[in-house]
Amino acid sequence: MQRNSVFYILAFCAVICLVCSVVVSSSAVGLKPMQDANKILDRQKKVLSVAGLMAEDAVLTPEEVGALFESRILAVVVELASGKVDANTDPTTFDQLKAQKDPATSRAAEKNRAGVARIPNKGLVYQVSKTPLDPNSGSTGGLPPGQLDQYIFPVEGKGLWSTLYGFVAMAPDCNEIKGLTFYAHKETPGLGGEVDNPKWKKQWKGKMAFGPSGTDPGSWGKTKVAVVKVKTDKDHHIDALSGATITGNGVTYLLRFWLGEAGFGPYIQSVAVRPS
């Protein structure tokens, strides 16, 4: 066969494409467990970070991160509509994002500014313990009030170019915000990407999601915390991101959605510690 013939060239290209596709496919399949493990590790780091248990620039091994997470974080699955804990669903294997995409385990959301299309029937809530957990307790119902330090809720919503996925940490009263962080987004670096800026994230600590500090959760109504250009409410307002109004609005809307009635609102109302 002549090497400069059309048939030879086409056959050669086909063989090269086949070999490359096999190599790429094999690599994707072989590396998937490692990729999944890295995703879990990254989310554990973000949960620990927003809970104040781990500095963002801390250098820990995967084993150390996993051990710290298991010693201080208890995950529970809740039914979003009722706010009740589902003790029959294993939180270690429950995937909220996967459940959200499956029509069998989710429902269509009413039109909302957060851009959330579907709401999972169940959600994952992380409870932070003040002291190391008992590894033999096997609790799926939650921490006792005296041991609970804060709640961490997963949140998501549309920014300018992407969906932002993150966590918001709240005090036991489910009103005071302890921190906010995002683990995935594709916003513009230097603009919307400033949601990752430690200085901006630091503003969230101590803000009130609903009413002023000390108010009864039953009187909160809608979520009031907001990213604004002009701060007029020291309890609820966060400085806007320069040149990233849409991303800032997106953060406001996603928090209002997931802390509201369509999200974790019913659970928040049932567990929030009332002021004495």
pLDDT tens per residue across span 208-252: 999 877 666 555 567 899 999 999 999 999 999 999 999 999 999
User: What is the count of structural domains for the chain?
Assistant: 1
pLDDT tens per residue across span 5-29: 777 777 778 778 877 777 777 666 6
Average pLDDT estimate for 48-77? 93
- Evaluate whether residue 98 is within a structural domain: yes
Nearest Cα residue to 148 out of 210, 239, 42, 73: 73
Please give the backbone phi and psi of residue 178, each rounded to the nearest 5 degrees, phi first. -95, -20
- Evaluate whether residue 53 is within a structural domain: no
- Evaluate whether residue 46 is within a structural domain: no
What's the confidence (pLDDT) of residue 64?
A: 95
Is the pLDDT assigned to residue 261 strictly greater than 80? yes
Alpha-carbon distances of 159 from 53, 166, 229, rounded to whole Å: 28, 12, 17
- Evaluate whether residue 16 is within a structural domain: no
- Evaluate whether residue 224 is within a structural domain: yes
What single-letter DSSP state applies at residue 153? Answer: E
What's the confidence (pLDDT) of residue 142?
A: 81
Q: Which residue has the tokens 């094999």?
A: 26
- CA torsion sign, 102 to 256 to 275 to 239? positive
What's the confidence (pLDDT) of residue 103?
A: 97
Expressed as residue numbers, the domain containing 151 is: 68-271
Is the pLDDT assigned to residue 38 strictly greater than 70? yes
Q: Cα(191)–Cα(166) distance, rounded to whole angstroms?
A: 18
- Evaluate whether residue 62 is within a structural domain: no
The alpha carbon of 216 is separated from its chain's Cα centroid by a whole number of angstroms, namely: 26
Is the pLDDT assigned to residue 186 strictly greater than 70? yes
Is the pLDDT assigned to residue 257 strictly greater than 70? yes
Is the pLDDT assigned to residue 33 strictly greater than 70? no
- Evaluate whether residue 120 is within a structural domain: yes
Beta strands in the chain (DSSP E): 73-79, 106-108, 118-120, 122-129, 148-158, 163-170, 177-184, 226-228, 237-239
When pLDDT is cut at 50, 70 and 90, the band that residue 256 belongs to is very high
- Evaluate whether residue 18 is within a structural domain: no
Q: Cα(170)–Cα(180) distance, rounded to whole angstroms?
A: 9
Query: Residue 103 corresponds to which tokens in the numbers above?
Result: 């029509």
pLDDT tens per residue across span 143-156: 887 899 999 999 99
